[in-house]
Amino acid sequence: MAAAADSVMANSFVRSVSRVECHVRKPGSFAGPLCIINAYGSARTPYPPATVSVAGAAQLRQSAGAGSGPADQGPPVQELCHPHHPHRDRRAGAGMDLNLIRVFVAVAETRSLTTAAARLYVTQPAVSQALGRLRRELDDPLFRRVGRVMEPTPLAESVYPGFREAVAAVDRTLDGVHRFDPADSERTFRIALSELGEIGWLPAIVRAVRAHAPAMRIEVAPMDVLALPEWLARGTVDLAVTPSPVPGRFEKVVLKTQGYGVVMSARHPLADGPLDLAAYASAAHVVVASDSGAPAVGQALRNAGVTIEPRVAANHFAALPPLLAGSRDLIATMPDTIAEGWARTWPLVVRPLPFEMPAIDVSLYRRSTTQHTAALDWLFGTVAHAIRGSSGRFQVIHGDATGP
């Protein structure tokens, strides 16, 4: 009965997808550690691994009786996979294991065997072994190590979009079979956040996710505005929260409007004195290299006809509270929500900007729409709701605080 049900489900799936052939194999037929990977990239599933063939999908669909009768018409999918079946595509890659394609996509998106292995919850040797099999299947090196990065070959670049969509098609189809339940999910999602995003929004995100999905894993990718379009297109990250516009056709939602203020020590002469444009321009400024809002601040200064010469260039916003609190002449321009939170825990003062600067939209972006799943839909909505309901201020944690 179970085998018949598997055959019916697989044949039905084949007729519903034009480019992907998916059939069920006997458990354990994939030798090696990667047999634990399934279409969700998880070790927990009632179904054994699936197989994908892009080249031979048309023959399989025709043999399976696509659109011409009940689900069990035509030869069983298991027979079509036999190496001597007349309808089996004998070209390179026919009947290719979905596990190999999933490994390829992970390496292509991360450019790292170690990171790909972590994403798939397998060992690096297992990824190397799978990549070796795929290289033999396609008769191409696929990736070459350049320094610490795995650079794709021209063939790898050309097949990546199709392979990514094949994996996504399987995920979307199985989403309809396995109803997503956040309470049982052990998935890992990657969210790109700036340093201030981690300080201001990550606590609210983690609380909201863990309230409904306690076993779900959240990984934070350091924000790289220049690389973000490629990350979202390739699925390197699932979501990104940023005030910077991201070129490309990505779904987004505006979460907040973010203002900026001038923060300084309470002992600074400008702390309670007049802060006009001239005083601001002549002050000793601290800038932060990772500030994703810096372009907007720079444009506002140019519009006001002001040029500043930074005295200190820091790498991280976390350095600012002790730096500013211990100085009588340094000032910094930064998002006011974070600055106001710091002013409650450090001897700092936040003053309004002495020039016009429009509020910046903070937006949530999600990865390419071809890869949407029910789980990603849930995460997108959960993160958006969490950030909208959070002040984004740095919170003081008292000794009696409790939480997950």
Give the tens place of pLDDT for each residue, 265-321.
999 999 998 899 999 999 999 999 877 778 888 899 999 998 888 999 999 899 999
pTM above 0.75, yes or no: no
User: What does the angle CA 82 – CA 88 – CA 89 come to, to the nearest 5 degrees?
Assistant: 135
Residue 126: Cβ-neighbour burial (10 angstroms; 0-12, 13-18, 19+): buried
CATH number at residue 353: 3.40.190.10
How many folded domains does the chain comprise? 3
> CB within 8 A of 76, min separation 6: which ones?
7, 11
Same domain, yes or no: 296 and 168? no
Could you tell me the two tokens for 22?
A: 């998916």
CATH number at residue 57: 1.10.10.10
Q: What is the pLDDT of residues 229-273, one digit of tens each?
A: 888 887 789 999 998 889 887 889 999 888 999 999 999 999 998
Whether residue 156 lies inside any domain: the answer is yes
Could you tell me the two tokens for 31?
A: 């030798």
Same domain, yes or no: 137 and 189? no
> CB within 8 A of 274, min separation 6: which ones?
none
Same domain, yes or no: 225 and 96? no
Please answer whether residues 75 and 25 qualify as being in contact, where contact means their C-beta atoms are separated by less than 8 angstroms.
no
Please answer whether residues 215 and 357 qualify as being in contact, where contact means their C-beta atoms are separated by less than 8 angstroms.
no
Whether residue 404 lies inside any domain: the answer is no
Q: What separation in angstroms does the CA of 399 have from each of 340, 390, 396, 403, 404?
A: 22, 22, 10, 12, 15
Same domain, yes or no: 107 and 43? yes
Q: Which of 138, 157, 177 is the last residue of a domain?
A: 177
Same domain, yes or no: 16 and 161? yes
Residue 244 DSSP code:
S
Same domain, yes or no: 306 and 374? no
For the chain, the first-to-last Cα distance in angstroms comes to 44
Whether residue 402 lies inside any domain: the answer is no
Whether residue 394 lies inside any domain: the answer is no
Same domain, yes or no: 245 and 113? no
Determine the structural domain holding residue 264 and report its residue range: 260-358
Whether residue 403 lies inside any domain: the answer is no
Q: Is the pLDDT of residue 366 over 60?
A: yes
Same domain, yes or no: 139 and 266? no
Could you tell me the two tokens for 264?
A: 């300084």
Helix or strand holding residue 45 (H, E) = none
Same domain, yes or no: 200 and 113? no
Smallest CA-to-CA distance from 109 within 39, 156, 54 is with 156
Could you tell me the two tokens for 402?
A: 């409790």
What pLDDT score does 53 carry? 37
- Compute the distance between CA of residue 199 and CA of residue 177 in angstroms, rounded to an integer: 38
